[in-house]
Amino acid sequence: MLIIVYPRFAPYYLLLILLSILITSCQNRPKEVLNRKKMEQIMYEVYVAEATMENDYRNFDTSEKKEAYIDQLFKMNGITQAQWDTSLSWYSDRIDLYLKMNDSVKSRLKLVQATLDAEIAQVNIQKNGMDEAVYSASYIPKNFSFASLDLERDRLRFKLDSTEISENLTDSIFSFSYSVIGVKLSSVYSLSSLITLVYSDTTIYNPQKVTENKTYSSSIEKYINSDTLKQIFGYIQLENPAGINPNIQLYNISMGDK
């Protein structure tokens, strides 16, 4: 009878062998191939860029614009198109590793999407909970002041329905714009705006952070892919939990021709 005696430290030897194989595999990665961490980051950004181009058809309506956008993404990350192609090919040949990386990127995308959905849901809750007598007023003043210490009043909000859009906004492309004065760098308060465009089958959100004293503008289209604009919801909001009077003024507020 043959008796095999395993060394006491066999599991540790096995671990060393596995580590050696892993190190050897990493060392076999060509210099021009991105490391795993960098590759996952670029994969994430490419996914986001592709989704952006797919949804923002106004700014990415040609293949040249799309290529320029991706090229800019690569430049910002310090790589070239050739390096990306080589890295993608190298990882694709190692399908198990590539699938793990892809799953990691998709998990990150789902987390970001869930966060965004929660923020949009919060906006809708706030919108539906507003006093209808105030929120439904379609009149948009030319000037507005954030001088009140009443937090409930520190928001300029408006809504236009399909009739008001048809009667008052004759062009197929127009804009909502406003100028700001009195904004200072501060961690105490923040100023932002949100334009929500409700089409028959699509809803588009155009958020904007206000950080400088200048004119801000959001372009709006009446028709997108044979879809018609039905409603416009909007607000410019000051988040001021400290209750300090920042004396911020809005002027030249307008909804009209671009």
Count of beta carbons in the 10 Å neighbourhood of residue 175: 16
DSSP 35: P
Q: pTM value? A: 0.48
Residue at 85: amino acid letter: D
Q: For residue range 120-159, what is the model confidence (pLDDT) as tens digits?
A: 666 555 555 444 334 444 578 888 887 654 544 467 888 8
Show the low-confidence residues of the chain (pLDDT under 70).
1-27, 57-58, 116-138, 147-154, 186-188, 241-245, 257-258
Q: Which fold has domain 132-257?
A: Jelly Rolls (2.60.120)
pLDDT digits (tens, 9 = 90+) for 95-104: 999 999 999 9
pLDDT of residue 146: 75
Which sequence spans correspond to the domains of the chain? 32-126, 132-257
How far is Cα 163 from Cα 60, in angstroms, rounded to an integer? 31
**What is the structure's pLDDT at 79?**
92
Q: So what's the pLDDT on residue 241?
A: 67
- What's the CA gap between 255 and 174, in Å, rounded? 8
